[in-house]
Amino acid sequence: MAHPSAAPSAPRNLLVIGGIGLGDPGRCLLRTFLAQAEQRGCRIHMTDQKMFVDLAPTEVTSRFASLHVLDFTDTAHCVEWATRQHHEGPGFDMVVTARDDAQPTTAAIAEALGLPYNSPASIETTQNKDRCRAALAEAGLPQPAWRLCRDVDDALAFTEGTAGPWVVKPRDGTGSRAVRRADDRAALVAAVGLLDAADRPFLVEELVVGPEYSAEGLFLHGEPVVVALTAKTTTEPPLFVELGHVVPAPLPEDTAAAARTAVERAVRAVGLTFGLFHAEFWLTENGPVLGELHCRPGGDYISMLVEAAHPGFQYFGALFDAFADPAFRPDLAADGAAAVAFLTAPAGTVVEVSGWEQARAGEALLHAHLARSPGDTVPELRSSMDRCGAVVVRAATSEQARAAADARAGLVRITTTADAPAEAPLPVH
């Protein structure tokens, strides 16, 4: 379906909460959002915290109709500000965010202005892992045994009635942060001890055994539609840091259909009705088991992979077009595949980077980003923030895309003081 340059009833003025960010995947997502909004004649009213606004590049900020410093963690102030702007300014047709931590404020603004969005209650359910698990179980969707724990005694009490291994995780949070596997009670005690005070109370769950996937979709006229399934590669236990993704996930059609159905049931069960969604799940011998649900597009370049594998589909464009036309249905035909592989290195100071130019050469490359250079510090790999870069490629099949991304990533050697010879000199800047 052709994408309109401007639709009379398109969302003319878009309010974006917390939309700048600094990470490379976020910058890529913002560029895509701006391009697809501009194609439809939309005006972007961007807000973010001061640190992000101050560091935003001019070539990006020049494309906004307006830019405001707004702390999305102060919901009451944001609602008051948005209400005043709405009535005194141009008036907003839609409010959106791609940040998990800005979801409560975005929902509150939409409710106050009478704009389409997910309800504050549904946002609260998705952002509290225990409430989400309870809602999914009530809807009849398989869930692992879990408990919301205050301390290590609660966690140990949970082990008495469940079979390990277990997973310890914050009640909220993203990017695999502070998620740890515990194979026995001693490991469980250690995992709980590593949690920050801000991560309490916390969840302990039985480990779900099976490969991990995610579903990428959007709501069309109130109904959820899964556009693509993503296969994931993660680090070995006890941590679960994502090292790669491929779209579409190479699954038999009946398995993929069962996963799509389960995810669409799940997002309805937690009360979501609007926008984009990203749902994590595992495939077990008994079928899909749902994990976390997010009312935003997937991170880690997943939106780029989805659009590359579905050349007629635009993630944000479909959202805007559905707003403009009650009969709109996007082109979801798949043609090819895409994959991302993330770069890692031993913890230490970067001494040398080699192979980067070779890794980013060639027509099949969609995107490449190197996040570390000589002199930079590489922390121990505990979350997605600790990775060192990424390469994104397109290919004819999922298997070819995954192999090509892994091969390019394998060309890059990031030498740190942890694996460099002791006498290796640091580079001169």
- Spans in the chain with pLDDT lower than 50: 1-8, 175, 423-429
Q: How many CB atoms lie within 10 A of CB 209?
A: 11
Specify the pLDDT at position 419.
79
Helix locations, 89-198, DSSP H: 103-113, 120-127, 129-138, 152-159, 185-193
pLDDT in tens, 212-236: 999 999 999 999 999 999 999 999 8
Specify the pLDDT at position 421.
62
Specify the pLDDT at position 298.
95
Specify the pLDDT at position 233.
96
Specify the pLDDT at position 420.
63
- Collapsing DSSP to helix, strand or coil, 172 comes out as coil
**Mind giving me the DSSP string for 259-280?**
HHHHHHHHHHHTT--SSEEEEE
Q: Which amino acid is at 121?
A: A
Query: Who's near 334: CB < 8 A, 6+ residues apart?
Result: 228, 248, 309, 310
Q: Could you tell me which of 54, 53, 58, 60 has the C-alpha nearest to residue 30?
A: 60
pLDDT in tens, 154-179: 999 999 988 889 999 988 865 456 78
**Mind giving me the DSSP string for 231-259?**
EEEEPPTT---EEEEEES----HHHHHHH
Residue 421 and residue 357 in contact, taking contact as beta carbons nearer than 8 Å: no
Residue 300 and residue 383 in contact, taking contact as beta carbons nearer than 8 Å: no
Specify the pLDDT at position 217.
97
Residue 411 and residue 359 in contact, taking contact as beta carbons nearer than 8 Å: yes
Query: Can you tell me the distance from the alpha carbon of 228 to that of 334, in angstroms, rounded to the nearest whole number?
Result: 9
Question: In angstroms, what CA-CA distances link 420 with 116, 331, 346, 413?
Answer: 55, 50, 10, 11
| Phi/psi at 347 (5° precision) | -60, 140
pTM confidence score: 0.90
| Phi/psi at 34 (5° precision) | -65, -45
Q: Which amino acid is at 92?
A: F
Specify the pLDDT at position 8.
43
Report all structural domains of the chain as residue ranges with CATH numbers, in order of start.
13-117 (3.40.50.20), 145-206 (3.30.1490.20), 208-335 (3.30.470.20), 336-429 (3.30.470.20)
Query: Can you tell me the distance from the alpha carbon of 57 to that of 239, in angstroms, rounded to the nearest whole number?
Result: 34
